[in-house]
Structure 1
């Protein structure tokens, strides 16, 4: 029996009113040659946004009983199971989260072995309202987490900004998440080509990028030519993720491990850490490069946390 390819998954996040549904519709129009399924998650018994995407997708699932990122209850898992039972299996699944969602836990769900067997998380897209994103960052931690988790950041509603203002905003957001691919648009446009150009491991302009505005969210770069002890590394990172969940949002990078010849990709999803083989170092000397994203992170603190795990 021919083995089925995993269903490709795209998660769309962004605060209330950022333009998530408009962007979703745009992507569905570009993917008309694929079988697409959409999961809409919104608070309340009536999901207004669902009516806006019904005509663009093969099947629409509405989850209105709460935020799927908060409960991770069986609602989303049940829907994922139902999709696998469809007579015509879809090629792609789009999940539009609530405006106040912390996407990290949803991303973590797609790392579960029983889910990963059937679904492949391709990209997490964050839509940022160019006019209001600074205010949202100051007011709500969810906005910072949405940006931190993103592979692609779409700066939307840029019409009222001058070119210098847009450049400044781009630089501020890139300081928060230097791992993402950034693009700007006036009305929720995102080309499929740009969607698949999400950056790999990027380097911030400087370790411990300066804080901007009043949101206090920043990134810190850690580099070391010394290998890590695997057990110690996972222990110190897991400990600090659970002790400081409101301060440490995301970790991603390549690490060199004692006794291993290949490099490993380390990344966090929600409060969970995942380590996967990432091939040889090639012509490069083994060296760990990790990017930390969170609130008021300090280079000295990150170095102090990781030093006991180095050999």
Structure 2
């Protein structure tokens, strides 16, 4: 019987390097046309999808941007995979060799794997990958429960941010991973391309399980992260990026440890430019210039714990900004 495509679930805490790992995988692939990527964004602005779309031409991409995939999107995930496979068949093309799901940082793999029972006929070869941020050990954070669920399920754990920590921190990370997931393979490599290649190596791949009881629809809608909320901000194109950055830093200062993640697309120096500004917690990375063909709209996604929209709306910006609850 014909074997189906490799199905790689990439989980990991917020800002732990999932998108960068997949981007490296696409950049090192000779031909991305046999790879499909499904991006689960916690917010409606598909920022990670825009970043990945710049990495490989010919790649098929789909997005799930209505919430955390492990809470409420499992049925949409099944439909998305079916649609990708059917489109490939109708086009007269061969099967994908690999489908990669980038989970949101809030997702737990268990409910996702359970939902795949409906796709057992596709004979998907399942491989679970989790990223471990050595600079922000996930088991020492408030995301402890999500991190344990991600690591415990993983066949392969990829250490990230290793160039920013001492060797002792890397060795400690390996010990932590082995204590949570003793059978997992740990990828401890400086080279981004080697990390990506090793992340999707064949050991540990298993058939999608058959016979797992499916959660009822009411259970699918139950949030596993009741204290975490996702907010979306909209603003006009005339906001200078420096002003936007100051505003985002003010948000980080006001929320402190309650802030989990910021992703924002702001205008660049010219009318056609777009800059990506991101933070993990209150730590911001350098701005990234997006491709001019990028269609992702201006706006920001803020993921925070124990925070209301009024908290964010009280932080002033020199230009008009509108806040919306997303989750």
TM-score range, shorter chain: 0.5 to 0.7
Task: Note the alpha carbon deviations across 1:105-137, whole angstroms, 9 max, x for none.
Answer: 112223x1x402114133111011101124555
TM-score normalised by the chain length of structure 2: 0.55
1:160 — aligned with what?
Answer: 164
Sort the Cα spacing of 1:158 and 1:73 in 2 relative to 1 into closer, same or farther, 3 A.
closer
1:64 — aligned with what?
Answer: 65
Aligned-residue offset at 1:53: 0.9
* Structure 2: runs of 5+ lacking an equivalent: 206-211, 213-223, 225-327
* 8 Å CA contact 2:19, 2:102 repeated in 1: yes
1:1-311, aligned counterparts within 5 Å?
5-33=3-31, 35-55=34-54, 56=56, 58-86=59-87, 87=91, 88=93, 89-110=95-116, 112=117, 114-134=118-138, 136-186=140-190, 188-189=192-193, 190-193=195-198, 195-196=200-201, 198=203
1:219 — aligned with what?
Answer: none
CA distance in 2, matches of 1:17, 1:136: 15
* 8 Å CA contact 2:7, 2:126 repeated in 1: yes
Q: Structure 1 stretches (4+) deviating beyond 6 angstroms?
A: none
Sort the Cα spacing of 1:79 and 1:170 in 2 relative to 1 into closer, same or farther, 3 A.
same
Aligned-residue offset at 1:183: 1.4
Which structure has more relative contact order (CA 8 Å, sep 6+)? It is 2
Sort the Cα spacing of 1:131 and 1:138 in 2 relative to 1 into closer, same or farther, 3 A.
same
* 8 Å CA contact 1:36, 1:91 repeated in 2: yes
Sort the Cα spacing of 1:194 and 1:90 in 2 relative to 1 into closer, same or farther, 3 A.
closer
CA distance in 1, matches of 2:18, 2:103: 9
**What secondary structure does 1:29 align onto?**
helix
1:291 — aligned with what?
Answer: none
Aligned-residue offset at 1:156: 0.4
* 8 Å CA contact 1:155, 1:185 repeated in 2: yes
CA distance in 2, matches of 1:192, 1:26: 9
* Structure 1: runs of 5+ lacking an equivalent: 201-233, 235-245, 247-311
**What secondary structure does 1:79 align onto?**
helix
* 8 Å CA contact 1:156, 1:187 repeated in 2: no
* 8 Å CA contact 2:139, 2:147 repeated in 1: no
CA distance in 1, matches of 2:75, 2:149: 23
* 8 Å CA contact 1:11, 1:125 repeated in 2: yes
Sort the Cα spacing of 1:193 and 1:101 in 2 relative to 1 into closer, same or farther, 3 A.
closer
